[in-house]
Amino acid sequence: MRLSRRKVLQLTALLGGGTVLSGCDGAISEASRRLGLTIPDRLNPPNGKEIDPNFHLLSRAGYGPWPGDLERVKTMGASAWLDEQLNPEKIDDGLCELRARRFETIYLSPGDCYEFKNNVLRDDLTRYTLLRAIYSKRQLLEVMVAFWTDHLNINLEKGDCIYLKAGDDRWVVRAHALGNFKELIKSSCLSPAMLVYLDGKENRRARPTDVPNENYARELLELHTLGVDGGYTQEDVYEAARCLTGWKLHQKGEFAKGSVYFDSASHDDGEKVVLGKTIARGGGQNDVDRLIDIVTNHPSTARYIATKLVRYFVSDDPPSALVGTVADKFRGTRGDIRLVIRTILTSEQFQQHKGEKFKRPFRYMVSALRGIGADTHAKSGLVEYLSRMGHGPFQYPTPDGYPEEMMPWLGTLLWRWNFALALAGNDLPSVSVSSEQLASALLPDSKSDLDTDLLIRHFVGRKATEAEIQALKSFKKGNSDLLGLVLACPAFQRF
């Protein structure tokens, strides 16, 4: 369904006009429901022993199916669905906008953000991120935003980052998430938030005795491009830091505050040699372009990014053949992220690792809320679960971003279980679920009730195993704890 802007406005007017956009949760929920954000009347969950391939695609190229998504992929075909996802600008996302657009600080310039209190800025960006993950129809874009957010991690709590990260989210991460890698790195390099987070704004060499600040240059090579085993030396770090001297932030001014400028007096304008390539003296503010060209075109970068993406989409133990193919694609397309991802998601190996990865807390929470068709405005009570599991958005302190693999997250099970039981019991703060509606969509007739097998089929994408049925047999059909236990079971921790 395509929603015209006019239709949205008509409906919102009908529901009380301005109050909707100014933040009345109930009205937004009601408008969403009327505009089609509901559980369909009829769902046909997969019925095979293995996880359904389309379910797998929705779980990895997105945060798992919203009720009805699976039927839609089946009808249009996985390939057409993927094409659609790879061109997010063509997907109408009005329903998500309705919920996420109300956070005004997301759309302001950094200078204006300085006018707001920290907790308003933090809440806005966190809720915006969570709501987009749950409700956006541009699901692949959202999982890529999460990927680059970790790759180019910025902690809101350092320095002025809290005023600047929303701009970084918008103009760096979201703008280039499915674009070109070099452009992504270039915009990140001079992003005000990054200049603060990794001390780039303090990196200067006004006199020969000044020692450059290497913080950003090191992470650029180690984490953002070549990878730690990418073959650079400490000398390369130092030379890269020299290239980047002189970029500063305006500290004052109503509009200028938080914007970037180049101060040639603080720039080291001598000759530099990075990764064996010479950058001639006198390059001034163009040094940064040369540097980014050199590091993003380096073969190690293709390999490092390919490995990381294959780990993210396919397996914690990335198949080396696929990594090779993807790295070739990366080099051949000069870092076209869209084509690289298409290569991964259409590979044979992609379907060979179904249900093997462990959901990080954010994905766990979002996939549960999507699977159950929850109505939420992601207030602090919900965000608290993420914080407690150590996965609060933009809260990771160090530049390597939240880890992707299972092991560091194994201590979060108790919080997942408590979340699952509260969600199923409709007892989560700022979340409302209708398990009756889900039941009536999943059941062929109204006489029976949701049993273990049907719930596992819906939430996991395959038939329940004998062990799952045995473990849950003492619970009555339709019991909310049964639903909670399905969301708490090992299979739903994986994707």
Partner 1 sequence: MEKVSRRGFLKRLALVTDSERRTQAHTLVCVFLRGGADTLNMFIPYADDNYYSVRPTLSIARPGSAGRKAALRLNDHYALHPTMSALLPAFKEGELLVVQGVGSDNTSGSHFEAQDQLEHGESFGKKLGGGWLGRHLYSRSGGMTPLSAVAIGTSIPEALRGAPSASVLKSIDEIKLTLPKGNPQAVANALSMLYSSDVDLLGNAGKVTLDLLHRIEKLKSHSQKPVAGANYPDTEFGAALREVARLIKADVGLEVACVDHGGWDTHFFQGAADGLQASNIKELSDGLGSLYTDIHANLDRVTIVVMTEFGRRIYENSSMGTDHGRGFALFAIGKRVKGGQVIGGLPQLKEAPIEFLGPSGLTVAIDYRSVLSEVVRSLLGNKDIASVFPGFTPQPISLFKTTA
The 10 Å CB-count burial string (b at 16+, else e) for 68-104 is: bbbbebeeeebeebbebbbebeebebbbbbbbbebbe
- Dmax over Cα atoms in the chain, in whole Å? 83
Least separation, in Å, of the C-beta of 490 and partner 1? Answer: 4
Closest among 380, 386, 381, 379 to 365, alpha carbons compared: 386
Q: Are 272 and 249 in contact (CB under 8 A)?
A: no
Q: Other CB atoms closer than 10 Å to residue 427's CB: what's the count? A: 12
Interface pick for partner 1 out of 422, 434, 437, 478 (rule CB under 8 A) = 422
Region near partner 1 per CB under 8 A, out of 15-23, 82-90, 202-210, 306-314: 202-210
Q: Is 426 in the site for partner 1 (CB under 8 A)?
A: yes
Residues pairing with 261 in the sheet? 248
Interface pick for partner 1 out of 177, 249, 485, 487 (rule CB under 8 A) = 485
Least separation, in Å, of the C-beta of 102 and partner 1? Answer: 29
Least separation, in Å, of the C-beta of 461 and partner 1? Answer: 17
| Phi, psi for residue 249 in degrees, rounded to 5 | -115, 140
Q: Which is nearer to partner 1, 66 or 197 (CB)?
A: 197
Q: Give the amino acid at 429.
A: P
Q: Other CB atoms closer than 10 Å to residue 201's CB: what's the count? A: 22
Q: Is 481 in the site for partner 1 (CB under 8 A)?
A: yes
Q: For 373-434, where are the alpha helices, taking DSSP H only?
A: 380-388, 413-424
Least separation, in Å, of the C-beta of 355 and partner 1? Answer: 11
Q: Are 31 and 15 in contact (CB under 8 A)?
A: yes
Q: Is 321 in the site for partner 1 (CB under 8 A)?
A: no
Least separation, in Å, of the C-beta of 459 and partner 1? Answer: 13
Region near partner 1 per CB under 8 A, out of 16-24, 99-107, 141-149, 222-230: 222-230
Binding mask 162-201 for partner 1 (x = CB under 8 A): -------------------------------------x--
Structure tokens at 48: 């095979």
Q: Is 357 in the site for partner 1 (CB under 8 A)?
A: no
Region near partner 1 per CB under 8 A, out of 67-75, 137-145, 170-178, 208-216: 208-216
Interface pick for partner 1 out of 30, 71, 400, 453 (rule CB under 8 A) = 400
Report how many residues bind partner 1 under the rule CB under 8 A: 64
Region near partner 1 per CB under 8 A, out of 43-51, 57-65, 131-139, 388-396: 388-396
Q: Which is nearer to partner 1, 23 or 403 (CB)?
A: 403
- Give the list of residues 6+ apart from residue 414 with CB closer than 8 angstroms, or none: none
Question: Of 238-267, which residues contact partner 1 (CB under 8 A)?
Answer: 238
CB half-sphere exposure, 28, CA atoms < 13 A: 23
Tell me if residue 290 falls in helix, strand or coil: helix
Question: Of 96-155, which residues contact partner 1 (CB under 8 A)?
Answer: none
Least separation, in Å, of the C-beta of 467 and partner 1? Answer: 4
Interface pick for partner 1 out of 237, 292, 305, 443 (rule CB under 8 A) = 237
Least separation, in Å, of the C-beta of 478 and partner 1? Answer: 13
Q: Is 408 in the site for partner 1 (CB under 8 A)?
A: yes
Q: Are 283 and 291 in contact (CB under 8 A)?
A: no
Closest among 215, 230, 113, 125 to 173, alpha carbons compared: 125
Distances, alpha carbon 183 to alpha carbons 109, 180, 310, 329, 337, in Å: 21, 5, 21, 17, 11
What is the Cα–Cα distance from 229 to 146, expressed in whole angstroms? 24
Q: Is 214 in the site for partner 1 (CB under 8 A)?
A: yes
Q: Is 315 in the site for partner 1 (CB under 8 A)?
A: no
Q: Which is nearer to partner 1, 318 or 335 (CB)?
A: 318
Q: Is 293 in the site for partner 1 (CB under 8 A)?
A: no
Q: Is 388 in the site for partner 1 (CB under 8 A)?
A: yes
HEC sequence for 423-448: HHCCCCCCEECCHHHHHHHHCCCCCC
Q: Is 31 in the site for partner 1 (CB under 8 A)?
A: no
Q: Is 467 in the site for partner 1 (CB under 8 A)?
A: yes
Distances, alpha carbon 274 to alpha carbons 214, 224, 237, 264, in Å: 14, 16, 8, 20
State the residues that interact with partner 1 by CB under 8 A.
199, 202-206, 209-215, 218, 222-223, 228, 234-235, 237-238, 358, 388-391, 397-398, 400, 403, 406-414, 417-418, 421-422, 425-427, 465, 467-468, 470-472, 474-475, 479-481, 484-485, 488-490, 493-494
